[in-house]
Copies of this chain bind each other. A is one copy, B any other.
Amino acid sequence: MNSQDSIEPEPRRYRLSEIARIISGELSGNDDLLITGVSDVEEAEEGDIVFAENDRFLRQAINSRASAIVAPLNTPDTNKAMIRVMAPRRAFISIIELFADAPRKPAGVHPSALISPTARIGQGVCIGPNVVIEDDVVIKDGSVIMANCFIGYGCTINEDCMFYPNVTLYHGVRIGKRVILHSGAVIGADGFGYMFIDDQHRKIPQIGGVIIGDDVEIGCNTTVDRAKTGMTVVGNGTKIDNLVQVGHNCKIGPNCILIAQTGLAGSVQLGQGVILGGQTGLKDHVRIGDGAIVMAQAGVFGDIPPQAVVSGYPARPHRQRLRQEAAYENLPELAKRVKSLEKLITELQQRIEDRQEEA
């Protein structure tokens, strides 16, 4: 690809000494080291700065690809550059903010946007080209709706939200504060429900709504269906990745993590802080307890207790599944061993028979 004359955004980078100054920390290591990003320890790359508030994290940080570590005051020297601070968490949040790219907003309301006269638009709201906003929509101060979004009648969007281009909200959806919706996300479409009467699938009316809590982020092309009656709910602080399906009447607690391509059938309930790995599937009406982890590709067909870690199909405690998988790997060999045993037993029986005859 010839991109010699493309305009590339200047990558953000800071000298380690600058960062140390900003967070009022003590620097050990190369002052001039260029830091190009901030990362969790698992995903760190060269140029990243990471965070280690205790010994375990420090060991991980030392073994990571990161170039520098933010650590508490009394931390010993390591192989990496280090900034020592009183309150490493607070310092690290400052560094995250330093690198965060504020998305460029459209300026004000674009003249091509079609906004119902009954919509109420707050202060400082930005609305991009070709956006359609239907009757009785409320958009509160500071929210940004980028190009080609569709906001159905009666929706409420609270303060400081960010909708990337081409988001669709069906009617009556309620969105919290500081919610980020990525392109292609569809919130509030009909749940999937039919009854087969007289040789036809008849649509069960989907007349409930959707509530998205504060500080939620929803990925590209993810779909959250409206409730049959009542509400589909995504709790405060929950983060949903791309291409996820949330069925009608699901109740997702606060601070959950749903990784890409996960699917929740109708009326699933997640507690708080639940983590669903990529491509997991949850049967309708299952309940997942607080802090439970469902590992990637698992199929959940029954309730999961709080703090459990489950995997596999059907999902079972992960340690149990690991033992089963290990046995499965050896299954052909086990079958051979059973075959040998059968042969041995037959021989033994024969020998006993022979000796009985002899006797």
Contacts and interface: CB of A to CB of B under 8 A. Distances in A.
B132 A130 contact: yes
A168 B168 contact: no
A11 to B, nearest CB: 7
B207 A37 contact: yes
Interface string A170-213: 11101011000011101001101111111111111111110111
A140 to B, nearest CB: 9
A230 B197 contact: no
29 contacts: A1-B236, A3-B158, A7-B136, A8-B154, A9-B209, A36-B229, A36-B230, A38-B204, A40-B204, A48-B229, A96-B203, A100-B203, A100-B205, A101-B207, A130-B148, A132-B148, A192-B242, A199-B255, A221-B221, A241-B245, A242-B245, A245-B278, A260-B263, A260-B265, A279-B279, A324-B331, A324-B332, A334-B334, A351-B352
Contacts of A9: 154, 171-172, 209
A249 to B, nearest CB: 7
A327 B172 CA distance: 49
A180 to B, nearest CB: 8
A1 B214 contact: yes
A51 B335 CA distance: 44
Chain A, interface residues (CB within 8 Å), range: 35 or more
A80 interface: no
